[in-house]
Amino acid sequence: MTPPTTAVYTATKGAVDAVTHVLAKELGPKKIRVNSINPGMVETEGTHAAGVIGSDFQKQLESQTPLGGIAQPGDIAPIAVFLASQDSGWLTGETMLASGGLR
């Protein structure tokens, strides 16, 4: 679900996915892994400033998210730690979707 007037923002998220795949192929032979995180809605200063928090849009989004609610930064940080660790040593070119189940 994307609110109106966010075409450029949405396009940049798609671009990150594409660059992740290309860089993984280019850098893989050097044993450099490239992965990215595509978070859904996260409560941040930006979402507050944009008027999302407390809005009808937030309520609609939460009602359609299988895990309910929206993410906090602390929900996303462990994913970054995992991707930076050797526990994800066989992952490259992957985009981790962290959206509470909303697709």
Active-site residue list:
9
Provide φ and ψ at 38, rounded to 5°.
-115, 90
Helix (H, G, I), strand (E, B) or coil at 89: coil
Query: Strands, E, within the chain: which ranges?
Result: 36-39, 95-98
Residues in the chain: 103
Helix (H, G, I), strand (E, B) or coil at 94: coil
